[in-house]
């Protein structure tokens, strides 16, 4: 296939050997295969360049595409936008009779499911195992080859392309929007696992996500509460007591304090200064 691609696409490693000892490694070939790109021999590359010289297209890159690998990605959104036209539009869902209707697909990200299934104390280890498995796959390492937890990921052989692939893979697995600087901010498998585990903690059983949902319900109920002074004072007193138990060291909000609270604050401060 000869694709009209931006000139920057010439950076793709397309030759298995350029005749000058620059041979693609196992990780390079594995990365290309996952992205639907197969290597070209020197002869094939030169023949396609010769053919490109006779074309009127302004920008061409010779490439061997594995459309089966592109379709195997499952999610069309994971296929590079430039290549989506080659795999065709998403398949239209077939109608299912009501009596045999299948349950709705679980939209929970894979990592959230796996971490939720683990006991609380085990989740940090599970997160590290998941990061190690993703790094090993991107690097083309055998599944039974452990990834050093405290060694820099870039030192293990990740380059700019595989670093982006790892970030994209982790984004898809966790459902998080991860920055392009992910591996620079968290450069080891241990640091990366701890960061991702922390980002997902609120969505796991026992995490803060359920409690925050209850607070949303409470806020909606307060908005519909009777708007009289006595009700507001009772609610404020109860919420203040709850907040005091949750964060006893939290500073007093002067703009929300009543006269008694202000005088008590002044007395505490003057008493502490004596």
Token digits for 190?
């241990």
Among 36-40, 47-51, 209-213, name the most confident range: 47-51
CATH 1.10.1200.10 fits domain 110-203: yes
Angle at 164 between CA 11 and CA 73, to 5 degrees: 95
- Domain map (residue ranges) of the chain: 2-84, 110-203, 225-273
| pTM assigned to the model | 0.54
d(CA 272, CA 252): 16
pLDDT band at 89 (very low <50, low <70, confident <90, very high): low
- Mean of the per-residue pLDDT values of the chain: 74
Token digits for 24?
């693609």
Query: Is pLDDT larger for residue 5 or for residue 164?
Result: 164
**Predicted pLDDT of residue 49:** 84
Query: Is pLDDT larger for residue 203 or for residue 100?
Result: 203
Q: Per-residue pLDDT for 99 more than 60?
A: no
Q: Per-residue pLDDT for 101 more than 70?
A: no
Q: Per-residue pLDDT for 119 more than 60?
A: yes
How far from the centroid of its chain's Cα atoms is residue 9's Cα?
25
pLDDT band at 125 (very low <50, low <70, confident <90, very high): very high
d(CA 196, CA 126): 11
d(CA 37, CA 12): 9
pLDDT band at 75 (very low <50, low <70, confident <90, very high): low
DSSP the chain: -EE---GGGGGS--BSB-SSS-B--HHHHHHHHHTTEE-B-HHHHHHHHHHHHT---S--EE-EE-HHHHHTTSSGGGS-GGGHHHH-SPPPPPP--GGGPPPPPP-S-HHHHHHHHS-GGGHHHHHHHHHHHHHHHHHT--TTSPPPTTSBTGGGT--HHHHHHHHHHHHHHH-----TTHHHHS-BHHHHHHHHHHHHGGGSTTSHHHHHHHHHHHHHHHHTS---HHHHHHHHHHHHHHHHHH-TTPPP-TTT--HHHHHHHHHHHHHHH-
Taking only the tens place, the pLDDT of each residue in 140-163 is 887 778 899 999 998 988 888 888
Kindly state the percentage of the chain with pLDDT values over 90: 17
d(CA 269, CA 274): 9
């Amino acid at each position: 296939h000869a694709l009209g691609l931006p000139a920057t696409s010439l950076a793709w490693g397309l030759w298995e050997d350029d005749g000058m000892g620059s041979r693609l490694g196992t990780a390079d070939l594995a990365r290309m295969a996952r992205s639907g790109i197969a290597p070209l021999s020197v002869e094939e590359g030169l023949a396609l360049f010769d053919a490109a010289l006779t074309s009127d297209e302004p920008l061409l890159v010779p490439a061997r595409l594995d459309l089966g690998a592109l379709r195997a990605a499952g999610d069309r959104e994971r296929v590079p936008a430039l290549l989506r036209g080659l795999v065709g539009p998403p398949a239209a869902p077939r109608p299912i009779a009501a009596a045999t209707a299948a349950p709705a697909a679980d939209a929970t990200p894979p990592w959230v499911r796996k971490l939720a299934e683990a006991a609380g104390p085990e989740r940090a280890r599970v997160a590290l195992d998941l990061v190690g498995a993703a790094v090993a796959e991107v690097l083309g390492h055998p599944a039974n080859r452990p990834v050093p937890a405290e060694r820099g990921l870039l030192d293990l052989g990740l380059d700019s392309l595989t670093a982006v692939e790892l970030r994209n893979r982790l984004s898809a697995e966790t459902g998080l929007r991860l920055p392009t600087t992910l591996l620079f901010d968290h450069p080891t498998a241990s640091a990366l696992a701890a960061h991702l585990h922390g980002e997902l903690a609120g969505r796991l059983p026992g995490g803060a996500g359920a409690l925050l949902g209850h607070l949303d319900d409470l806020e909606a109920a307060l908005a519909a509460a009777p708007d009289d002074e006595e009700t507001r004072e009772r609610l404020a007193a109860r919420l203040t007591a709850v907040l005091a138990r949750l964060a006893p060291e939290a500073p007093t909000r002067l703009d929300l304090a009543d006269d008694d609270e202000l005088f008590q604050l002044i007395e505490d401060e003057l008493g502490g200064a004596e």
